[in-house]
Amino acid sequence: MRNIMRKSFIFLGVFVILFGCIIRDNVFAYTPVELYDNVWRLVNTKFVDQTNNEQDWNKWRHKYDKQIKTNEDAYVAINTMIASLNDPYTKFLDPKEFAEETSSIKGSLKGIGIQIGVKDGKLMVIAPIEDTPAEKAGLLADDEILEIDGVSTKGITVDKAADKIRGKEGTQVTLLIKRKDTEPKSYTITRAEIEVKSISQKTPFDMKVPDDIGYIRLSSFISRNAASEFRSILDQGQNKKGYIIDLRSNPGGLLSNAIYISDMFLDGGTIVSTVDRDGYKETSRAARGVVTKKPVVVLINKGSASASEIFSGAMKDNHRAVIVGEQSFGKGLVQEINKLPYESGVNITIQKYLTPNGTDINKKGITPDIVVELKEEDIKNKNDVQLKKAIEVLNRMTTGQEVAAY
């Protein structure tokens, strides 16, 4: 088995952050034209779709040679070229955007604490980050963002939207939000410095969980310390009869974290496979030794994406956990972050991933074993019906009762 990590970071998130990547240095270019050509070559050799969106990629190589005089010229040309791929996750990052992305991996960013993505041509809230201005303002997963500061988001890219939403701490941004079956509503939110927390044992709405059940809320897989922090909680909870792993509104993060945390529960078996542009398949298997064999319930919702879906898929396909909640987001692609000259970068979709059963969940998501919808009325009443069901299911599992048929 080849090492799926290849000494680099694979990021699988959806923040105003993004989904899925490996960080690499590609500092071969020195002039603006060479910078453009470097990006062309990287896409030509790495993009997951060999047809490059069914086009002749060679037509782009020297298309702007005479027009590119400055770095800014190169940035415009690169963005035009990349847009032709029609992949929302393959994108060029200018120095400002690259710095913001690397800071998010380190665990901090400035904005409102919202994770966004484009789905079916619409700018959507994937999830608000826990305990941030976005969450406190009442934004929810699956909200559609119609306007940012009065300007329509029709046709906007995730990068451009993120740039408009981010800003200096203390300043405000107004979002026009369309929620299912409701009239659009404006939310004016004050920006702040956002700490990206990964692990918490605090429940939404401060709901009480029985003392003999271990509750772990994993809000993202982005922190490089997420796996070790998760392991520490497991080690401290050896007296628990079972665990509820809450991945709701978790947009993803580092692939390594998804693999390592899955490995803590699996005594052998496949965790995830990735397939590249040439059809080469790499498989990551549980091999480190199981930390606990106690029953597990995993909570997911429509804001659970990418690395969350890898973990959920591994636990589901290996019959290691019961999945409770709502259909997940459906992001089954891996991106590589390539560092470029002038402190810029480019994210390129290089692989798709498959669950242990060989399922491609991209644009489909993970289907829960037990579907429980958390309605807006439940949120207003602080009634976490999904967590209540998870507790009920875990209690049944620990007493040997059937859980799949009710």
Domains of the chain and CATH, by start: 108-195 (2.30.42.10), 199-332+352-398 (3.90.226.10)
Give the 3-state DSSP-derived string for the chain, with helices as H, strands as E and coil as C: CCCCCCCCCCECCCCCCCCCCCEEECCCCCCHHHHHHHHHHHHHHHCCCCCCCCCCHHHHCCCCCCCCCCHHHHHHHHHHHHHCCCCCCCEEECHHHHHHHHHHHHCEEEECCEEEEEECCEEEEEEECCCCHHHHHCCCCCCEEEEECCEECCCCCHHHHHHHHCCCCCCEEEEEEECCCCCCEEEEEECEEEECCCEECCCHHHCCCCCCEEEEEECCECCCCHHHHHHHHHHHCCCCCEEEEECCCCCCEEHHHHHHHHHCCCCCCEEEEEEECCCCEEEEECCCCCCCCCCEEEEECCCCCCHHHHHHHHHHHCCCCEEEECCCCCCCEEEEEEECHHHCEEEEEEEEEECCCCCCCCCCCCCCCEECCCCHHHHHCCCCHHHHHHHHHHHHHHCCCCCCCC
Q: Is the pLDDT of residue 17 over 80?
A: no
326 near 319, Cβ under 8 Å?
Answer: no
Q: Is the pLDDT of residue 19 over 50?
A: no
Residue 266 vs residues 10, 182, 215, 316: alpha-carbon distances, Å: 21, 43, 18, 11
End-to-end CA distance of the chain: 40
Percentage above 70 pLDDT, the chain: 90
**Catalytically annotated residues:** 306, 317, 331
Whole-number Å distance between alpha carbons of 258 and 221 = 7
Phi-psi region of 214 (alpha: psi -120 to 50; beta: other; left: phi over 0): beta
* pLDDT of residue 303 exceeding 60: yes
- Write down the pLDDT at residue 320: 96
Residue 24: pLDDT band by 50, 70, 90 thresholds? low
Give the residue-averaged pLDDT of 315-326. Answer: 97
What single-letter amino acid sits at 230?
Answer: F
Q: Residues in the chain, how many?
A: 406
Amino acid identity at 272: V
pTM attached to this predicted model: 0.75
pLDDT, mean of residues 98-124:
79
Listed range (46-60, 112-126, 292-306, 314-328) with the worst mean pLDDT: 112-126
Two structure tokens written together for 132: 């941030």
> Rounded mean pLDDT of 62-83?
96
Per-residue tokens: 406: 């009710």
> Would you place residue 20 in the very low, low, confident or very high pLDDT band (cuts 50, 70, 90)?
very low
In the predicted model, is pLDDT for residue 107 greater than 80?
no
Taking residues 377-389, report their average pLDDT.
92
Per the model's pLDDT, the better-predicted residue between 76 and 334 turns out to be 76
Mean pLDDT of the chain: 87
Minimal CA–CA distance to 279: which of 50, 40, 52, 55?
50
